[in-house]
Structure 1
């Protein structure tokens, strides 16, 4: 039995957890070969304080988005220096990380968040860790907190990230362009044909209760051309808000735990309106669903959006708050053959760089290399 330890960060529902859960699902079906466990180092170190930290983090983004964006860019995105040190993180977590590894005795560690990766990179630099470590990046860029030099393997989202790591001196044999990994049950590509007398559009991005999704929905003014399905997740306030609108063309959907059900919703969708979070975007890129971005949270999502727009992979709905014809703007893109042809060209260019191997196959190859 091969023990694999997954390290996201915080307990809030985020891309770090979704990616880890999908990889665990993929590995768990391999004839009982893998014993996977997912642990948040903050909860492991401080227990219930994690819930307080998560709450403060979300409120900070919601109430002071510009401040968060500025601090994020200055601290972990701009002005890169070799061997950045984040001594506060080391002081708070490094001994706990050593204790966790000694307790769990994993054969392989997979980081889906930058902070655990940074800590493990420090342990490897100090010759205190020989267990192979994989970084799995969940955004479309690599921030400076991620441990890089001493990490054994890197599963990167795009060819630009591969080039970035190679410029840092990482051998290409240690880098795999996987895209942001998605759950294996969302990889079914079958799509039912239907009469195109009405579009079905998913709306996502309200699960954490931050952002402008309520204002956006109020601006839609649906006609009979588009039927909207809003993924509310665990945001009960959003679900109630849409229910009370009593608009037959805007249907709220509560938390969906079934990946098969989510997969079917994707198959029925002609487009999605969302924020540029790494996992949702990756799922839609895989499904080749046209993506409209209505809002980006400060920090990671803003940087993701810049990349996605530059690559022509998303359509941004700009200045929607001051428009009265938002649905016309959406239809003008869905009905435009030139827009759709351009999108297909960009999607083809994006997909041609991705590894053809399943994540589990790559991990088995890595374990064979290390003779585990």
Structure 2
């Protein structure tokens, strides 16, 4: 069995993390399976991937209003065919590249962790070109944008019941083909870590690699709260790491990029709250660990839509810059508020009816071969 997992971009991002979680899961369940993660844009053209990823990062950080407008008009609008209608030759180019990729790899199952390759696979399926290869959408945000192919894709792993209802009622997907799994994260986060006895409160700050620290109020909050230990995940942002290190404050602990999910799981087990942006994967990790969440500085587009949903569920607290210090302190030092948020998290997680590993195994047994044996280790 060969599984092709289609993602997008080379830089660390949630779509890639979900792809890696899927790869890890299938590898454990089917030890003889070949699972290959492909950055579809990079496969098409490495220079194109570098250009588009640089443009994307520049746009969300330097011109957020431009990206927000593009997102609403192309990726999350009533007319989801707008991009293809305006640029048919571009769409045809990517369709041909996807056809080429599938012909080269000859997968027995295709999994998409990004909407763009899903769209191309959907178009090929509509034309009957790859109708014999089953495909799975694995949604990586708390909503379903318009770029994802819907009906041509056989199976769908969704974050919650509302997303399932949308696929069934709006797009005509059969109920038995939609699995409420939550956003897939590494199995490492299922490991329970005993909390250490500690005298000070501890907050994990995530998102330093993607614009969380544009706010001077955030740095001010870190400096002015010595009674809280802050572990700051700087990612690959060396400038931020050096800046925080130069403060030489013992309660501020900058960390570089953490590649190990087990190490990150240990950190979640130590903290009283997380201060982050509303990215699908980070929020899902915090939900799994039931770590109270404070949101600061959403990126334009998908994170703003995520935040709206999360606030409606009452499972995050959003903070503006001028209220950041008060919001962090009121949550971290108020046991009742943290307990209330954890209870809402537990109610939300009750919606998850399938472990994503079991859902994918069900699909493999049904569509690929009933003779494939899952590992018992």
Tell me whether the two structures share a fold, i.e. TM-score over 0.5: yes
| CA shift digits 1:132-173 (9 cap, x unpaired) | 000001000000000001101000011110111011211110
* 1:26 aligned partner: 25
| CA shift digits 1:238-283 (9 cap, x unpaired) | 1001011112111101111222211111111111000000000000
> In 1, Cα distance between the equivalents of 2:212 and 2:272?
25
Change (3 A) 1:328 1:363: same
> In 2, Cα distance between the equivalents of 1:218 and 1:98?
52
Q: Is the 8 A contact 1:313 1:347 kept in 2?
A: yes
* 1:58 aligned partner: 57
Secondary structure in structure 2 of the residue aligned to 1:194: coil
* 2:111 aligned partner: 110
Task: Name which of 362, 365, 369 aligns with 2:366.
Answer: 369
Q: Please list, as runs of the form range in 1=range in 2, the aligned pairs for 1:1-372 lying within 5 A after superposition.
A: 2-80=1-79, 85=84, 87=88, 89-129=90-130, 130-167=132-169, 168-195=171-198, 197-208=199-210, 212=214, 215-318=217-320, 320=321, 322-323=322-323, 326-357=324-355, 359-372=356-369
The normalised TM-score by structure 1 is 0.93
> In 2, Cα distance between the equivalents of 1:310 and 1:216?
25
Q: CA deviation at 1:206?
A: 1.3
The normalised TM-score by structure 2 is 0.91
Secondary structure in structure 2 of the residue aligned to 1:13: coil
Change (3 A) 1:95 1:143: same
> In 2, Cα distance between the equivalents of 1:210 and 1:315?
16
Change (3 A) 1:180 1:271: same
> In 2, Cα distance between the equivalents of 1:58 and 1:275?
15
> In 1, Cα distance between the equivalents of 2:343 and 2:135?
35
> In 2, Cα distance between the equivalents of 1:213 and 1:37?
39
Q: Aligned Cα RMSD in Å? A: 1.9
Q: CA deviation at 1:43?
A: 1.2
Q: Is the 8 A contact 1:107 1:132 kept in 2?
A: yes
Q: Which segments of 5 or more consecutive residues in structure 2 lack a partner in the other structure?
A: 370-377
Matched residue pairs, number? 365
Secondary structure in structure 2 of the residue aligned to 1:29: helix
Structure number with higher helix proportion:
2
> In 2, Cα distance between the equivalents of 1:93 and 1:210?
33
Q: CA deviation at 1:187?
A: 1.7
> In 1, Cα distance between the equivalents of 2:181 and 2:220?
37
